[in-house]
A and B are shown apart, each in its own frame.
Chain A
């Protein structure tokens, strides 16, 4: 056996002794850590609550946008549904405009509404 091997064995015996004699955590120290643990957990939930209660600017903007988009989609769908439904009645409204190249104005669908008055109006600044 070489000297290096012998040294390695000796060193391993020292490591082994160290592992078997790990420094013990005394009761006072553990009590201190346990008290910290209680306090730390209570503080953690407070931190979490304050993070949730204070949304960021991008957070409220995002919520506003996501709330608005479905609402506008729903409104558009309802409007189209009303026109399509009305086209089969004798209300004088046709849904052909959905399929043709013809330009339609609001006055065409709601005669007398007054929107036609704006058709040829030039907007001056």
Chain B
């Protein structure tokens, strides 16, 4: 294989700025799955997520001629643009989950989760994520599913590290509450 596989993202992007289509395709292979994962978790809609990722990458190609190595991480830049696209799309929607749809909490999420299949766990989490405010949802997905470090999330979301910690902590509490309120769907009873 050629040097594309070993080259850092920023070197590939500089090559894109010089018209290298293969470098652009190598970047798509690296970045698109991660970006799509985030957008799908946050938006909860495959088509919308794909559109958001496509828009993000088109923007990346546009800034490629001005990209300077060492100024920023390409993936951080992409996440930042994607987070903004997702926020715009979420704001354009009506709230999908009414507050009164969250039922009374039950005592034990753990036993319920242990009895679920992987797919059911995935679905339960996706549903619970949908109940979180936009910023909390994005922060929780970046931290606990994409497993990014808090300083990088802070850069992506334009917040301080402390604010990210607070956002993810509140997000986790809200997730627990949302899961506790869905005892029927989770397949257990008191």
Contact = CB atoms under 8 A, between A and B. Distances in A.
Interface of A: 3, 6-11, 13-15, 17-25, 29-30, 32-34, 36-45, 47-48, 51
B23 A17 contact: no
Interface string B106-149: 01111011100011011011101000000000000000110100
Q: Which of A18, A20, A43 has the most CB of B within 10 A?
A: A18
Interface in B4-36: 16-21, 23-25, 27-28, 32-33, 36
Interface string B86-109: 000000000000000000000111
B122 A21 contact: yes
B49 A41 contact: no
Given A15-B125, A37-B57, A48-B65, A23 B49 contact: yes
Contact of A33 (B32, B144, B179): B32
Given A17-B125, A44-B17, A44-B19, A33 B110 contact: no
Given A3-B107, A25-B33, A30-B32, A38 B50 contact: no
Nearest to A48: B65
Contacts of A44: 16-19, 61-62, 64-65
Contacts, number: 132
Contacts of B122: 14, 17-18, 21
B176 A33 contact: no
Nearest to A14: B125
A86 B134 CA distance: 85
Contact of A19 (B49, B64, B145): B145
Given A13-B121, A45-B19, 19 more contacts: A3-B108, A6-B109, A7-B110, A10-B114, A14-B179, A15-B125, A18-B41, A18-B121, A22-B33, A25-B33, A29-B50, A33-B28, A36-B28, A37-B24, A38-B24, A41-B19, A41-B24, A44-B17, A44-B62
Interface of B: 16-21, 23-25, 27-28, 32-33, 36-37, 40-41, 46, 49-50, 53-54, 57-58, 60-62, 64-65, 107-110, 112-114, 118-119, 121-122, 124-126, 128, 144-145, 147, 172, 175-176, 179
Contacts of B53: 33
Contacts of A8: 172
Nearest to B61: A40
Contacts of B40: 23
Contact of B121 (A14, A34, A45): A14
Closest 10 CB pairs of A and B: A40-B61, A45-B19, A37-B24, A17-B121, A23-B40, A6-B110, A14-B125, A10-B110, A10-B113, A41-B21
Contact of B32 (A21, A25, A47): A25
B113 A43 contact: no
A7 B32 contact: no
A10 B144 CA distance: 13
A36 B17 contact: no
